[in-house]
């Protein structure tokens, strides 16, 4: 998969989760690129932290308004959300004209979702800039070491992006147990192969794993990985590992942090047989929103 590094872009133009100038709570941490020069297929993934994070001062309407600005700024073709409450999803769905939605509830109602509306369901969502999509879901093996018994899943929306039928997918893997995380990742890998056949795949979400982990061997197609994907931030040389620098490779299983713990946990993978010139960056976090960065990606068709 051929990729190009993103250029430095003024941090003042990145507000919150790439919203409006002047709204950011911190500086951007990205190699970034202007939407006018990025490849045409655009993606966003975001762990909304809808049930856990307090979001003081936000309503469902004000939250969806800010996220829509991020989507409009990037002219995103597919948006993949994790840890989103139904009230957030519904409000964003009502704002996004021209996008086909898909929703997957993994929980019937954590208490924290009550701030977004009466329906307290919690889960994942995908939006694709197209007329309609086929919704596909798969439950993942339960992590028996998870004290909260959180259900995990895979959600895909099969629909046209720039005239090509594509799978836009999102998942959220466990962080409690490495062995169960591996089982979940293998289930995702097998199910994607079954659903996709030979069509392009965009796979995004919160994998709760670092780039060099054995979990992500299932997805990366290089440096020990046996998957079918490249990742949008794999050519950010500022984040290359020491071994990648020494080897003088063109791309590396690395990338910018996407979580307050300083680690990259969020990814946008693209099937290497179908995409080239991929690039990505993590936007600065906005005050009072998620503990994750919104991650943007772009790629051209192969």
CATH number at residue 150: 3.60.10.10
Task: Supply φ then ψ for residue 108, to 5 degrees.
Answer: -80, -15
What's the mean pLDDT when you consider all of the chain?
89
DSSP per-residue letters across 79-111: EEEEEEEHHHHHHHHHH-TT-EEEEEEEES--G
- 8-state DSSP, 25: S
What is the spatial distance between Cα 202 and Cα 156, in angstroms, rounded to a whole number?
A: 9
Residue 1, domain member (yes or no) = no
Any idea what DSSP says for residue 284? P
Q: For residue 95, is it within any domain?
A: yes
Give a yes or no: residue 107 inside a domain: yes
- CB 295 within 8 Å of CB 258: yes
What's the confidence (pLDDT) of residue 244? 96
> Residue 207 is encoded by which pair of tokens?
């994998």
- With beta carbons less than 8 A apart as the criterion, state whether 173 and 152 touch: yes
Boundaries of domain holding 159: 11-301
Q: Which residues of the chain have pLDDT under 50?
A: 1-30
pLDDT at residue 109, rounded to an integer: 79
Predicted structure pTM score: 0.90
Task: Give the pLDDT confidence score for residue 32 in this predicted structure.
Answer: 61
The answer to the question of residue 3 being in a domain is: no
User: What confidence tens digit (pLDDT) does each residue in 143-175 have?
Assistant: 999 998 999 999 999 999 999 999 999 999 999
Give the pLDDT of residue 5.
Answer: 37
4 in a domain, yes or no? Answer: no
pLDDT at 31: 56
Residue 136 is predicted with a pLDDT of 98
Asked if the structure places residue 225 within a domain, the reply is: yes
Q: What does each C-alpha distance from 220 to 126, 139, 141, 210, 264 come to in angstroms? A: 22, 22, 21, 12, 14
Angstrom CA distances, 117 to 50, 57, 83, 114, 290, stand at 12, 15, 15, 5, 18
* Beta-sheet pairing, 229-231 with 153-161: unpaired
Look at residue 20 in the predicted model and tell me its pLDDT. Answer: 31
If one counts the domains in the chain, the total is: 1
- Is there a domain that residue 126 lies in? yes
Q: Are β-strands 275-282 and 164-172 bridged in parallel, bridged antiparallel, or unpaired?
A: unpaired
| Residue 6 resides in a domain | no
């Amino acid at each position: 998969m051929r990729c190009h590094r993103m250029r430095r872009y003024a941090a003042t133009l990145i507000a919150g989760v790439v919203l409006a100038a002047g709204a950011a709570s911190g500086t951007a941490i990205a190699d970034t690129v202007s939407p006018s020069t990025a490849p045409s297929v655009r993606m966003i993934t975001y762990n909304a932290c809808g049930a856990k994070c307090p979001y003081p001062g936000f309503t469902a309407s004000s939250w969806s308004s800010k996220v829509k600005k991020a989507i409009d700024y990037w002219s995103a073709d597919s948006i993949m959300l994790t840890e989103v409450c139904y009230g957030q999803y519904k409000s964003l769905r009502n704002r996004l004209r021209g996008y086909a939605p898909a929703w997957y509830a993994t929980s019937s109602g954590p208490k924290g979702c009550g701030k977004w509306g009466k329906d307290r369901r919690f889960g994942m969502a995908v939006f694709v800039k197209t007329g309609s999509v086929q919704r596909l879901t798969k439950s993942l093996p339960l992590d028996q070491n998870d004290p909260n018994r959180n259900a995990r899943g895979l959600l895909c929306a099969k629909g046209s992006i720039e005239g090509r039928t594509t799978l836009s997918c999102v998942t959220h893997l466990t962080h409690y147990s490495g062995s169960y995380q591996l089982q979940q990742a293998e289930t995702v890998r097998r199910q994607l192969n079954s659903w996709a056949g030979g069509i392009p795949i965009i796979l995004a979400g919160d994998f709760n794993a670092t780039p060099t982990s054995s979990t992500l061997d299932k997805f990366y197609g290089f440096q020990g990985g046996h998957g079918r994907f490249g990742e949008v931030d794999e050519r950010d040389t500022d984040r290359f590992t020491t071994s990648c620098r020494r080897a003088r490779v063109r791309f590396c299983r690395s990338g910018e942090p996407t979580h307050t713990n300083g680690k990259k946990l969020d990814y946008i993978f693209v099937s290497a047989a179908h995409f080239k010139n991929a690039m990505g960056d993590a936007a600065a976090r906005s005050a009072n929103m998620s503990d994750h960065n919104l991650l943007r990606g772009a790629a051209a068709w192969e």
